Every structure is written in C-alpha cells, then in structure tokens.
Homo-oligomer: A and B are copies of this chain.
Amino acid sequence: MAEELIGNCLIAQSGGPTAVINSSLAGIVTEALNHEQIEEIYGGLNGILGILREDFIDLAEESQQTIRGLRHTPASALGTCRFKLKKSQDFDRVLAVFEAHNIRYFFYIGGNDSQDTADHISKLAIERGYALRVIGIPKTVDNDLVATDHCPGYGSAIKYVATTVKEIAADNESMGQGDLVSILEVMGRNAGWVAAGASLAKRREHPNDPPHLIYLPEVAFSPQKYLDDVQRVLSKKKDCFVVVGEGLVDQDGNYLATASTQTDSFGHAQLGGAGEYLRAMAEQHLGIKARVAKLGIGQRAAAHCVSLTDNNESFMAGQAAVKAAVLQGETDKMVTLIRGDGDQYSCETGLCDLEDVANGVKMIPATWINDDGVSLNYQFTKYALPLAFGEMEVPFENGVPKFVQLNKMRVDRMLDPYIME
C-alpha cells in the first residue's frame, strides 16, 4: 500500500471527444466513491481552461442515474478545450488552484497533448513539494498514442465506420448500371487507424469485399497509382469503394488536400478535403462518376453505435486510474490497455510514464499493410476486430438517443480571477 494521501480529486477532459470518453469519467467517479482518501470529487469544466478559471463542479452531487447515463452519452460531459499551457505562469496558476481547493488527485482524460500537459503539472508539483498524484486516462479515436495497445474511443469509431461502409457498399452493389467510385473520407490526421478499421466491413474469407482501396497517411500518396488502383478494381466489378484518411500526404509529407489554409491553436493544418480531392481526380481523369461521404464529427460521437468492448474498457481505464493513484500511490503515469497473450481476446490495464506518451505518434506497422499499399492483412484484422466487438443497448426517446446532462453544481471559487493573455 502507498502512503495515504487525503484530499480532493479533480477530473477533467481535454481535446476532441470520443463516443465513450464519458464512460471513463463514469469509471473515475464510481471508483473514487470507494475510497475514503478522496473527500470531494470535482469536475473541471472545459479542460485546462476550467482549472485556470476555477470552473469546478461537484460531481458527487450528480445523481447515480446521471453517472450511469454518462456511459451512453457522447461528447465531453465536462466540456473540453484545445488549449495548451505554455507559459510558466499558467502552470503556477494550476498549482495555486490545486492548493486552494486541496486537490491531491488529478485525473486527466485526453490525447497526447493532454498527457504532455499532465506530465508538466505532475513534475512541477514534485519540484515544488506539493503532494499530488496525476494520472492520465487515454482517449482518442485516432488510436495513435504510444505505450498502450489501443486507445479508448477507437473501437467505437471503427465500429461506426465499418458499419457505414458495409451499409453504403450494399447500396452500391445493388445498383444495376454504370461504373461508380464511392469514396468515404474518415478521420485520422497523422495515422490511418480509423481508415484501416473500415476493413472490418469485409467478411472473413472475402478479401474482395468493399472497401477495395484504403488510403492511409502511412503510405505516401501517388495520384497515378490511385488512378491505376481504381481502374484495376473497375476491371473486375462495377463499383469501387475507396476509404481515405483525412491526413493524406504526398512523398514529401505535405497534406494533399486541405480545406483551408487555417491552422488550429496547436499548429495543426485544418484538413477536410481528401475525399473531394479523390472524387475530382476520378471524374476528371477517368471520366467515372464518383461520390463522396464524409462522416465528420459523427465518427467520434456516434453513441448509438458504440463498441461494447470499447465502452467497458473506457470505464475500466477510469477505475484503474483511481486505484493506481489511491492504492499504489502512483503519479505522472497514464493508464494503458494491455492485450492478453491468449488466442481469446482479453485486456487489462497497466501504467506508463506520461512523458513516454506525451509526444509520440503510433503509426500502423508497415508489416500490417499489404504490398499493394491499399489494404490491410490479417495482422491488422486480428488486432482491430476484438476492439469493435459487442453492441450496447442505448436508450432512445422520441425517436432519437437520450443523453444525460450534468447538473453542474458549482464549487465556490477561492482565488482572484486569472487574466489569460
């Protein structure tokens, strides 16, 4: 047993949500209630912004029904942000706020940028001698965090994408006339995990099922090869199903199709045009009818089509964070998901150092991509299939899914307002 640390805990969510990010929140709250060392359970609104501003709510005041309902409510129930602490005074403020509210446990649900922030906070607390335990909980549909077998949120994203591919493919195949290139643009700025997941729409033993061509950021895009690929598929059947990750890059690593010249606050290029780019190419160079669908934010929010496995693991990751902090006295760690060795899929949680995950990006292993560059082999399927497994019954009301909303009973502020520059 670790040294006992008594105080309040703070939970926050950061970055782009997933369909199951609130399941991790529910896991943390549920587990925190089991430990007397945790006195108050606070939620910080809108990620790190809410911490700077002391925008805290009392999560223990929420009804049990609401906490249970978080498991089928998409988006970040606490609100989120894309804001990166940079200046040392921002970090000073965070610690001042923690001290003022006696925050001794900080659980941060986010991607690699968020884990980087958590790492800095944790290290600063150690340096200042402020007793604080910081545990990150991974989330990202992009599945690109290192050190964990996979990321909470990914299994649900690919279940939704593969389901959509299968449905659209059935429609394409039922059309009796004319060649068609059917394009689906999916998420994935730096890695092609979501695009690759579309291959789960193929039935086993049917490698020629749609999607026929999957373009991944891991494979430098060649316009001529794309046109050749499409023609090869259309020489055998009348429709060609293309899945493309938004972050398609050329051989020099430049994005091929940006929807605008803007960049976000992290300096990421704002993407969105890869599907339209491929459609225009097929129509202009091959004279073939092409159409595009772009699922957009639906991919990270489709609570009506989550993976039960993913949902359960997201909850479990939240629970594990609390146990690691309270029982093992861990800090400066992120919860990881570890896959069992057996033939039957199993998963348990582990821990890694926050700094190990903070700035890495995990790509699809080159050995999982077939030589054609546009399909995945059995190693990917073996990896991804169990993550999308199982369905969850979600409540509907008046024809649409029913989500919960937190009551958000505010915690009194203790400090002067913080002026952000």
- The answer to whether A293 touches B304 (Cβ under 8 A) is no
CA distance A201 to B301 in the complex (A): 14
Q: Which chain B residue lies CB-closest to A46? A: B176
A251 interfacial by beta-carbon distance below 8 Å: no
Binds B, one of A28-36, A77-85, A313-321: A77-85
Query: Within the complex, which residue of B168, B174, B283, B389 is in contact with A296, where a contact is CB–CB below 8 Å?
Result: B168
Cβ–Cβ < 8 Å partners of A88 in chain B: none
Q: Which residues of B contact A389 (CB under 8 A)?
A: 398-399
Chain B residue nearest in CB terms to A14: B176
User: Do residues B399 and A74 form an inter-chain contact, with CB atoms below 8 A?
Assistant: no
Residue pair B174, A76 in contact (C-beta under 8 Å): yes
A49 in contact (CB, < 8 A): yes
User: A49 near B297 (CB under 8 angstroms)?
Assistant: no
**Known contacts A75-B171, A171-B74, A296-B291: does B400 contact A204 (CB below 8 Å)?**
no
A162 and B399 form a contact (CB under 8 A)? yes
How many residues does chain A have at the interface if contact means C-beta atoms less than 8 Å apart? 79
A170 and B73 form a contact (CB under 8 A): yes
A220 to B177, CA, bound (A): 34
A301: contacting residue among B162, B167, B261, B398, CB under 8 A: B167
- Set of chain B residues within 8 Å of A80, measured between Cβ atoms: 174-176
Q: Is the CB of B307 within 8 A of A399?
A: yes
CA distance in complex: A261, B281 (Å): 12
Interface-central residue, A163, A171, A399, by most chain B CB under 10 Å: A399
Which residue of B280, B283, B298 contacts A164 across the interface (Cβ within 8 Å)? B298
A17 touches B171 (CB 8 A): yes
Q: Is B47's CB under 8 angstroms from A159's CB?
A: no
Q: Are B75 and A174 in contact (CB under 8 A)?
A: yes
Q: Across the interface, do A272 and B262 meet the contact criterion of CB distance under 8 Å?
A: no
Inter-chain contacts of A50 with B (CB < 8 A)? 176
A74 contacts which of B13, B17, B46, B167 (Cβ < 8 Å)? B167
In the assembled complex, the CB of A53 is this many whole angstroms from the nearest CB of chain B, namely 10
Kindly state whether residue A144 has any CB partner on chain B within 8 Å. Answer: no
Cβ-closest chain B residue relative to A384: B399
The answer to whether residues A272 and B283 also contact, given A176-B49, A300-B171 and a CB cut-off of 8 A, is no
State whether A401 and B276 are in contact (beta carbons under 8 Å apart), knowing that A75-B173, A301-B168 are contacts in the complex. no
Q: Residue of B at shortest CB range from A50? A: B176
| Seed contacts A78-B174, A184-B296; 7 additional CB < 8 Å A-B pairs | A73-B170, A75-B173, A79-B174, A80-B174, A81-B175, A167-B302, A388-B399
- Between A and B, 18 residue pairs with Cβ closer than 8 Å are A19-B167, A75-B173, A79-B174, A81-B176, A81-B177, A83-B177, A159-B399, A167-B303, A172-B297, A201-B400, A271-B273, A272-B276, A276-B276, A293-B298, A385-B398, A388-B399, A389-B399, A390-B399
